[in-house]
A and B are shown apart, each in its own frame.
Chain A
Amino acid sequence: MPTLKQGFAALEPVLQRHGHQAHGLIEVLNAAQQLYGHLSEPLLRHIARQLRLPFSRVQGTASFYHLFRFAPQARHSCLVCTGTACHVQGAAQLLAELRAAPLAELSVELGSVRCIGTCSGAPLVVVDGAVWNHVDANAVLARLRELER
Chain B
Amino acid sequence: MSSCLRLCTAASCRSRGAMALLQSSDRPVKEVGCLGPCSEGPLAAEGAQLLSLKPAEGEPLAPSLGAALAGSRAISADDPFLKLQRRLVLARCGVVDPGCIDDALAQGAYQQLQAVLAANNPSAVIDTVRRSGLRGRGGAGYPTGLKWATVAAMPSDQKVVVCNADEGDPGAFMDRTLMEGDPHTLLEGMAIAAFAVGAAQGFIYIRAEYPLAIERLRRAIAAAEARGWLGTAIGGSRFSFGIELRVGAGAYVCGEETALIHSIEGRRGVPRPRPPYPAEHGVFGLPTLINNVETFGNIPPLLRLGVEAYGAGTKVFSLTGHVQRSGVLEVPMGTPLRTIVETMGGGAPPGRQIKAVQTGGPSGGCIPASALNTPVDYDSLKALGTIMGSGGMVVMDDTTNMVDIAAFFIAFSREESCGKCIPCRSGTVQLEMLLRKLLERRASAADLTQLEALCHTVADASLCGLGQSAPKPVLSTLRHFRGDYLELLEPGEVVR
Contacts and interface: CB of A to CB of B under 8 A. Distances in A.
| Direct A–B contact in complex, judged by CB atoms less than 8 Å apart | yes
Given A64-B269, A113-B209, A118-B38, A131 B15 contact: yes
A24 B244 CA distance: 12
Interface string A74-96: 00000000111111110010000
Contacts of A132: 15
B15 A61 contact: no
A11 B45 CA distance: 43
Contacts of A119: 38, 171, 173, 318, 320-321, 326, 394
A117 B173 contact: yes
A29 B250 CA distance: 13
Contacts of A140: none
Contact of B408 (A24, A84, A121): A84
Contact of B251 (A23, A25, A64, A113): A64
Given A23-B284, A87-B408, A120 B268 contact: no
Contacts of A43: none
A26 interface: yes
A32 B394 CA distance: 37
Nearest to B396: A88
Nearest to B180: A117
Contacts of A131: 11, 14-15
Nearest to B322: A88
B249 A66 contact: yes
Contact of B268 (A30, A61, A117): A61
B430 interface: no
A118 B251 contact: no
Interface in A105-135: 113-122, 124, 129-133
A85 B247 contact: no
Given A64-B251, A64-B268, A67-B250, A84 B263 contact: no
Nearest to B15: A131
A109 to B, nearest CB: 16
B252 A114 contact: yes
Contact of A124 (B15, B266, B322, B400): B15
Contact of B392 (A26, A84, A113): A84
B12 A118 contact: yes
B250 A66 contact: yes
Contact of A114 (B209, B247, B326): B209
Contacts of B322: 88
Contacts, number: 134
A86 B405 CA distance: 12
A124 B16 CA distance: 11
A114 B250 contact: yes
B167 A84 contact: no
Nearest to A68: B249
Contacts of A85: 170-171, 320-321, 326, 394
A60 interface: yes
Interface in B189-222: 208-211
Interface string B112-141: 000000000000000000000000000000
B38 A24 contact: no
B246 A27 contact: yes
Given A117-B173, A120-B320, A65 B12 contact: no
Contacts of B408: 84, 87, 92
B15 A84 contact: no
B265 interface: yes
Which of B15, B210, B326, B392 has the most C-beta atoms of chain A within 10 angstroms of its own C-beta?
A: B15
Contacts of B248: 26, 65
Contact of A24 (B15, B266, B320): B266
A98 interface: no
Contacts of A144: none
A22 interface: yes
A131 B11 CA distance: 9
Interface string B98-112: 000000000000000
A29 B269 CA distance: 14
B41 interface: yes
Contacts of B210: 116-117
B406 to A, nearest CB: 12
B438 interface: no
Which of A24, A25, A87 has the most CB atoms of chain B within a 10 A radius of its CB? A87
Nearest to B473: A84
A1 to B, nearest CB: 19
Contact of B11 (A29, A113, A117): A117
Given A64-B269, A116-B11, A84 B250 contact: no
B6 interface: no
10 contacts: A23-B264, A23-B266, A64-B270, A84-B409, A86-B170, A88-B400, A115-B172, A115-B173, A120-B38, A131-B15
4 smallest beta-carbon distances between A and B, as pairs: A117-B173, A83-B170, A66-B250, A131-B15
